[in-house]
Structure 1
Amino acid sequence: MNPIIALLKEQNVNDKQIKEVFEALTENPIMAMNTVQQLGIPQDKLQALMMLLMQNPDLIKEAVDELGLDFSKVEQAKKTLQP
């Protein structure tokens, strides 16, 4: 299992919420951080999750694939964030 998904499940985030997080990540990575912060994850675990998300974009792709979402939206979002 993807470590990001595993961390979310450890914090009792349900499958629907996990899918919502990754849908948000594929549509707008900046706004997705707000979604993640609203899950009620303790600060230390939230910080670890944020580090995983920011430092390992390949893990996001793996999770998106594992959840059956469209990764091309992530690529589009990355292009809009680049100067």
Structure 2
Amino acid sequence: MNPILALLKENNISDEQIKELFEVLTQNPLAAMATIGQLGLPQDKLQLLMGQVMQNPALIKEAVDELGLDFSKVEAAKAQLQQ
């Protein structure tokens, strides 16, 4: 299992909340940061999650694929942010 998804599940984040988070991520990465903050993860787990994402951004693609979402939307949102 993807380490991001595993960390969220270990902290009792429901499958529905995880899918919602990654749907927001595919549409608006900045809004996803606010959504992550609302999950109520302990600070140390939140830092671990952010560290994993920053060290290995490919984990996001793996998680999106594992959830059956469209990664091209993540790429489009990222391109939009860079403009």
Task: Report matched runs for 1:2-81 at 5 Å.
Answer: 2-81=2-81
SS at match of 2:39: coil
Report % sequence identity: 72
Distance in structure 2 (CA, Å) of the matches to 1:79 and 1:25: 13
Superposed CA deviations along residues 7-49 of structure 1, whole A, max 9, x for unmatched, are 0001000100000111111111111010001001000101111
Deviating above 4 A after TM superposition, structure 1's stretches of 4 or more consecutive aligned residues are none
- Gaps of at least 5 residues in structure 2 are none
- Gaps of at least 5 residues in structure 1 are none
Normalising by structure 2, we get a TM-score of 0.94
Tell me how far 1:53 sits from its aligned partner. 2.4
Normalising by structure 1, we get a TM-score of 0.94
Report the count of equivalent residues: 83
